[in-house]
């Protein structure tokens, strides 16, 4: 395995105080290799999105250590540190400003980070995510859900990050559109070589997209395994086996034709 691009050690995160305190993440330790696709799975409230937010620098306080590209980071990060890690959120409509065109949504991050050739960068990244030149000056309400999520992916990629964080990136989309976006993300990771960490409750999606997976419950990591092991239901922990059964022992091969059809579009 390559050297770790993301290292999390003893991460604990709490919200509130006193009797209202919620211990959302408890002593999580993980390492994600350079270029790896890593998944975090678990039911709602398991802490997986909170871990992702901490890696993104969106959690104000935590205990433990997060290292990105070999450097310890804090919630207060430099522009260079923030450029390394970009995030694609669950709701593509909610994550885009309704009064900003696609062009502005993509240009603003490049301006903030002082990049040159912004117009050419916008054109290139739109083509990368499968959008046409005419989409560039449209507003979010003029796009379909799948197109909006492609814009969100483009906005993350325009900064050429080393790490892409994916928080349930297809759960708000129709199944056929999910397939298109998932195949797009797989292709982009191969072409750009970034490391990805995906959060999802959908075991089929995670096993399809990720090399390794960590199962979380009540803020803790119970076990890690490969995507193939997850697809076969090869778990050690009782909760992980229960999670697999709750998904009806999905057959990932049943989704193969759908994903292949989407990839060929």
Q: Which residue has the tokens 């909170």?
A: 50
In tens, the pLDDT along 186-196 reads 999 999 999 99
Q: Cα–Cα distance between 25 and 12 in angstroms, integer?
A: 5
Q: Cα–Cα distance between 62 and 70 in angstroms, integer?
A: 19
Neighbours of 208 (CB within 10 A): 21
The residue-averaged pLDDT of 128-140 equals 96
pLDDT at 251 over 60: no
Q: Cα–Cα distance between 102 and 100 in angstroms, integer?
A: 7
End-to-end CA separation in angstroms for the chain: 34
Confirm if 141 and 169 have CB atoms less than 8 A apart: no
Confirm if 149 and 129 have CB atoms less than 8 A apart: no
Pick the CATH number of 4-263 from 1.10.3210.10, 1.10.3720.10, 3.30.70.20, 3.40.50.300: 3.40.50.300
Question: Percent of the chain at pLDDT above 70?
Answer: 92
């Amino acid at each position: 395995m390559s050297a770790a691009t993301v290292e999390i050690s003893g991460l604990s995160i709490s919200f509130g105080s006193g009797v209202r305190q919620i211990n959302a993440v408890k002593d999580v330790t993980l390492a994600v290799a350079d270029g790896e696709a890593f998944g975090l799975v678990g039911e709602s409230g398991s802490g997986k999105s909170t871990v992702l937010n901490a890696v993104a620098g969106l959690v104000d306080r935590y205990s433990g250590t997060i290292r990105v590209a070999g450097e310890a980071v804090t919630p207060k990060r430099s522009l260079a540190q923030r450029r390394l890690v970009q995030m694609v959120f669950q709701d593509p409509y909610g994550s885009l400003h309704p009064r900003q065109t696609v062009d502005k949504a993509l240009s603003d991050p490049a301006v903030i980070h002082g990049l040159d050739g912004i117009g050419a960068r916008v054109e290139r990244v739109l083509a990368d995510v499968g959008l046409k030149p005419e989409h560039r000056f449209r507003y979010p309400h003029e796009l379909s859900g799948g197109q909006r999520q492609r814009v969100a992916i483009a906005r993350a990629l325009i900064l050429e990050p080393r790490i892409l964080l994916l928080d349930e990136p297809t759960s708000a989309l129709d199944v056929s559109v999910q397939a298109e976006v998932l195949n797009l993300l797989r292709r982009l990771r191969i072409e750009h070589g970034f490391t990805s960490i995906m959060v999802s409750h959908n075991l089929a999606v995670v096993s399809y997209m990720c090399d390794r997976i960590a199962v979380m419950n009540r803020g803790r990591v119970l076990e890690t395994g490969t995507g193939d092991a997850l697809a076969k239901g090869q778990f050690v922990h009782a909760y992980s086996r229960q999670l697999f059964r709750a998904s009806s022992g999905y057959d990932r091969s049943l989704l193969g034709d759908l994903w292949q059809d989407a990839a060929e579009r």
